[in-house]
Structure 1
Amino acid sequence: MTGTTDDSTVINAISDLAPMWLPGCVVDTAERTVEVGWGRGALQMSAVVGLGEIIDRCGQVPQHRWAEQIEAWLRAVVAEGELATEEHRYGDVAERQRALLVQRGWSARTAGPVADALIPFGDHFEVVVFIGTGTDLRRLTVVRRSMLGLGDPNVPSPVQLTLQQISDLRPVEHDGFSVLSRENDRLVSMAVVDREHLLPQTSIGMGALIGVPRLSTVAFCPADAGQETSNRLAKYVADTYRGAPDQCSPDLFWLQGDRMVQVPVTLAEPPTVMLPAALLPSPRRTWIRHLVQQLFRR
């Protein structure tokens, strides 16, 4: 009984069950919303939240599992409200937004009952939004973004705020390829989003081979740098990913402008990159790459 459930059936179930777990909450079946409250003593707050997410979640599971889904979601919404109240104590929440580039599916694998605020980024990555509180980055959910008013048009973009913070990154040469890195700075992965400024090679010639083994590290080389350099890059990505506290992706990608495709790498030690035919060395391409490298060094 999944995929064909009538929304009204789910809404009626929510209306019947919600007051059992959260006395005082109000479900508006016509508007498809629920009002929940939280607080301590005289400080009481409430928010009206749309039911779209929990309706979708119930539609993906058998009806006998609706009750557990609804209870978990409602309790998570209340927890989000309490967290939103706490976050206001640390200053302007809008200015503390930050975004991280993570491997596609990371949010779905690790999120709780309430969906994260995220932006898809191609077939292999996604951008997940966080709130900086001290040195901690807390995942921003769709529910909390609404509670905090962060979806309004005049609110700063978390992507732009993040790119401003990493705009001073400079690549360091390492064994024939380049590395952008800053220890304990999980925002570095967003350099792939601002590739025109931080990874200019991706828009020149054949583009670049890149790896994002850690949120704090991006490694890259010209896409047509040749087999040996590509293999060294793949080994560095694999070694850097292994055991890292901020793992992102162990894979290698060919990024050319807005086009990104995964490049196969063998599991051998050392790994070998299976370069597409278009990236195999040719005298003309080698000469052009040498000229481009000389221009970058000036």
Structure 2
Amino acid sequence: MTGTTNDSTVLKAIADLAPLWMPGCVVDTADRTVEVGWGRGSLQMSAVVGLGEIIDRCLQLPQQLWADQIEAWLRAVVAEGELATEEHRFGDVADRQRAMLLQRGWSARTAGPVADALIPFGDHFEVVVFICTGNDYRRLTVVRRSMLGLGDPDVPSPVQLTLDQIADLRPVAHDGFSVLAREDDPLVSMAIVDREKLMPQASIGMGVLVGVPRLSTVAFCPADVGQEVADRLAAYVAETYQGAADQCSQDLYWLQGDRMVQVPVTLATPPSVVLPAALLPTPRRTWLRHLWQQLFRR
């Protein structure tokens, strides 16, 4: 909507109001940017931030709500600058990027006035970027990513860094299915992204049934393993999700290569999986699955 009358109206509102709340900030309506400053004593810093995000947010609201939205966003941008300054004290920020696989919409439901840095991942998940500082994971926003220079092409990718962190994971057999887990490690959920290495069965034959009940736990089995094992997998996902501090998703998915679809699970106790017709056992499919299992054991 760049260049429309609505854009111009929002820009004028920002230019008029911003200096009232933050004396010294400079709004450039031509470049659609604002320069904000922060610091303590003689240590003063500033950054130029694009206004595209706050313009889009205002255009989704009645005009009488713009002022509050603009003020909240500007103050959040200053807070992001202060946080960026602090994060530099802990070493190379680029190498401390991490990414977590979360349910689609998690960021929108929990974010503040400034949007998170994220990558959509299919219809059901999103990859949200964080900065690892000590034992804490601080969600990275689009604004702070720009301030820290993390969007540059030569900067290490947070996704690749995260995949390196979980490269040593090995599946453990559990009641007919496999589990990838590491207690208190929220990066394990990214096994779905690194499925070619950590779940190679996802790209073979009918793929896998998979659940991500916790950020620290991924459970899966061959998609055509049959009703009994699928039900046990669904029960494990439901039980592991219940009450967990790092909940991710209580649903079950059919992952085949790059295709992921949700598989219905009844609310019965224990739960029962409503397998798609394509996954119902047939003599030929049972024989092929047995063959693949033999090959993997060699």
TM-score w.r.t. the length of structure 1 is: 0.98
Which residue of the partner structure matches residue 178 of structure 2?
Answer: 178
Q: Cα deviations across residues 59-100 of structure 1 (Å, max 9, x unaligned)? A: 001000001100000000000000000000000000000000
Letter in structure 2 aligned against 1:103: Q
SS of corresponding position for 2:137: strand
SS of corresponding position for 2:211: strand
Which residue of the partner structure matches residue 16 of structure 1?
Answer: 16
Q: Distance in 1 between matches of 2:183 and 2:200?
A: 22
* 1:296 Cα deviation after fit: 1.1
Aligned length: 295
1:118-197 matches, within 5 Å, as 118-197=118-197
Letter in structure 2 aligned against 1:213: P
Q: Distance in 1 between matches of 2:37 and 2:269?
A: 56
Which residue of the partner structure matches residue 28 of structure 2?
Answer: 28
Which residue of the partner structure matches residue 293 of structure 1?
Answer: 293
1:1-298 matches, within 5 Å, as 6-298=6-298
Letter in structure 2 aligned against 1:45: M
* Structure 1 unmatched runs, 5+: none
Q: Cα deviations across residues 207-237 of structure 1 (Å, max 9, x unaligned)? A: 0000000000000000000000000000000
SS of corresponding position for 1:248: coil
* 1:20 Cα deviation after fit: 1.1
**% identical equivalent positions:** 83
Structure 1 residue runs of 4+, over 3 Å off?
none
Q: Distance in 2 between matches of 1:129 and 1:192?
A: 16
Q: Distance in 2 between matches of 1:33 and 1:164?
A: 36
Letter in structure 1 aligned against 2:131: I
Letter in structure 2 aligned against 1:135: N
Distance 1:5 1:239, change over 3 A: farther
* 1:5 Cα deviation after fit: 6.2
* Structure 2 unmatched runs, 5+: none
SS of corresponding position for 1:186: coil
> Does the aligned pair in 2 maintain the 1:97–1:158 contact within 8 Å?
yes
> Does the aligned pair in 2 maintain the 1:97–1:129 contact within 8 Å?
yes
Q: Distance in 1 between matches of 2:243 and 2:68?
A: 35
SS of corresponding position for 1:55: helix
Q: Distance in 1 between matches of 2:201 and 2:239?
A: 24
> Does the aligned pair in 2 maintain the 1:5–1:59 contact within 8 Å?
no
Letter in structure 1 aligned against 2:123: D
TM-score w.r.t. the length of structure 2 is: 0.98
Q: Distance in 2 between matches of 1:75 and 1:5?
A: 26
